[in-house]
Amino acid sequence: MSNPSEKMAYLVSKFPTLTETFILREIVALERLGVAIQIYTIRRENPEVIHDEARPYLDDLRTVHSFALPTLGANLIALLRNPFLYITLIALTIRELWGCWHLFLRDLYLFPRAVAFAEWMRRDQITHIHAHWATHTAYMAYIIHRLTDIPYSFTAHAHDLYIRKAMLCHKVRAAKFVATISQFNIEELTRDCGEAMRSQLQVVRCGVLPEHLDVPRRSDPAQLLTILTIASLRDYKGLEYAIRAAALLADSLDFRWWVVGTGPDRDSLQRQIDAAGLHDRFQLIGGRSEQAIRDLLSEADLCVMSSVIMPDRRMEGIPVSLMESLAAGVPTIATRISGIPELVIDGVTGRLVPERDPEALADAIRAYCADRSAWQPMIEAGKAHIEREFMVDHNAARLQELFARSKTASSSKT
């Protein structure tokens, strides 16, 4: 889909945002390949820190409130144009989502926006819609598709697959294809929606930039051990277990542990840090730009991710921060959950430990300190693994191929 007369809509939940750099990188990479993209966002964010790559898109974002006059006008037009279809889509939403209250209430609230976006996409002459996340944005893409016949696809990541599954298979069946970040997710979707859907499911990794492969590394092991965690401050990131591991190491190891990220659990995590007497060693340093993160990676001896599976099945997909650490040649330790073992291959590209096991995590850090030279083959293998499977340009080209293939398939049916 590189015809200059064609334009694709990227439908995202929020923009700009620090925590979804993988979507921004994908958009930028696709545009380098000649794909014209218009961003539609449910919510326009105004974060304190904005990635430089996001700035060119800010003046031309498409977003609207559910009960703004343009939204109400678009819904009136859609109702008058085809009242049966409009009412059918509302009835379908109620029938499919009834009982899954989070999706039910949120998607009903977003229905008027989807109708407004459908009108805008007609005006923008959009030829394909790609949504990120399998929940609200994929729902909106489905509604827009039904109203306009514009084909759509979506990328499924993590909690959008693992928790609330109402209407999921309906969205999968109607999509031209579904991209997802791991083989783990392919198996999850196949169990949910049936083996017949497997051919429609495609692994498309999130990716890192070439500059992540060229992060300079300090080489003086005599300096204070620097451990880096890049994660939002949320329960499924398992930071409480990282703090417990740090407490186990405090008497025998000199270290500083930096956590990059923001989130709702900051205050509770800080209380845990203070209670463990780690306030001068384990520091929550807030959000950082991409360049600042690369600078931190150059200082880090070790990257650690202690993610967990929550009782409601919230969990990671494959954290981009782990891709960045492997690309930068930073020894990496993570937990054995979800798709992470497809990236951090235990004993090959890094080390895996059980979730919710601070003792195992502390032991892995001690083992690193005891024999750093043993990590050199894993460092090299990790960079090679990133170059083979997790580069953003490679995966954007894969997406472009899928867009083109879906268009060819549509043309052959007409």
E strands, 93-147, are 126-132
pLDDT of residue 414: 45
Q: Provide the 8-state DSSP code for 13.
A: E
Burial 225-248 (b: 16+ CB within 10 A, else e): bbbbbbbbbbebbbbbbbbbbbbb
The architecture in CATH of the region 7-207+391-413 reads 3-Layer(aba) Sandwich (3.40)
pLDDT of residue 243: 98
Spatial separation of the C-alpha atoms in residues 148 and 202, rounded to whole Å = 25
What are the Cα distances from residue 387, in Å, to 112, 167, 215, 231, 401?
A: 43, 36, 14, 23, 19
Spatial separation of the C-alpha atoms in residues 306 and 304, rounded to whole Å = 6
- Angle ∠(153,155,158) on CA atoms, nearest 5: 150
Residues in the chain: 414
Question: 7-207+391-413 and 210-389 share one CATH topology?
Answer: yes
Q: Which amino acid is at 75?
A: N
Query: How many whole angstroms from its chain centre is CA 382?
Result: 20
Please name the residues in contact with 38: beta carbons below 8 A apart, sequence gap of 6 or more: 7, 8, 9, 10, 60, 62, 124, 126
Spatial separation of the C-alpha atoms in residues 43 and 46, rounded to whole Å = 10
Whether CATH 3.40.50.2000 fits 210-389: yes
Give the domain ranges of the chain.
Answer: 7-207+391-413, 210-389
What are the Cα distances from residue 349, in Å, to 73, 113, 323, 327, 345?
A: 55, 44, 11, 11, 5
Q: What is the pLDDT tens value at each position of the chain, 414 positions in all?
A: 555 558 999 999 999 887 778 899 999 999 999 999 999 999 998 877 777 888 889 889 999 998 899 999 999 999 999 999 999 999 999 999 999 988 999 999 999 999 999 999 999 999 999 999 999 999 999 999 999 999 999 999 998 999 989 999 999 999 999 999 999 999 999 999 999 999 999 999 998 988 889 998 876 665 789 999 999 999 999 999 999 999 999 999 999 999 999 999 999 999 999 999 999 999 999 999 888 999 999 999 999 999 999 999 999 999 999 999 999 999 999 999 999 999 999 999 999 999 999 999 999 999 999 999 999 999 999 999 999 999 999 999 999 999 999 887 665 454
Spatial separation of the C-alpha atoms in residues 390 and 138, rounded to whole Å = 24
Tell the burial category of 293 from Cβ atoms under 10 Å away from its Cβ (0-12, 13-18, 19+): buried
Q: Are 237 and 262 in contact (CB under 8 A)?
A: no
Backbone angles phi, psi at 181, to 5 degrees: -90, -5
Spatial separation of the C-alpha atoms in residues 242 and 234, rounded to whole Å = 13
> For the chain, what percentages of helix, strand and coil (3-state, to nearest 5) are there?
55, 15, 30
Please name the residue that has the structure tokens 């500083």. 256
Predicted TM-score (pTM) of the model is: 0.89
Q: Provide the 8-state DSSP code for 372.
A: G
Q: Are 163 and 313 in contact (CB under 8 A)?
A: yes
Q: Are 281 and 129 in contact (CB under 8 A)?
A: no
Cα radius of gyration (the chain): 22
Please name the residues in contact with 127: beta carbons below 8 A apart, sequence gap of 6 or more: 1, 6, 7, 8, 150, 407
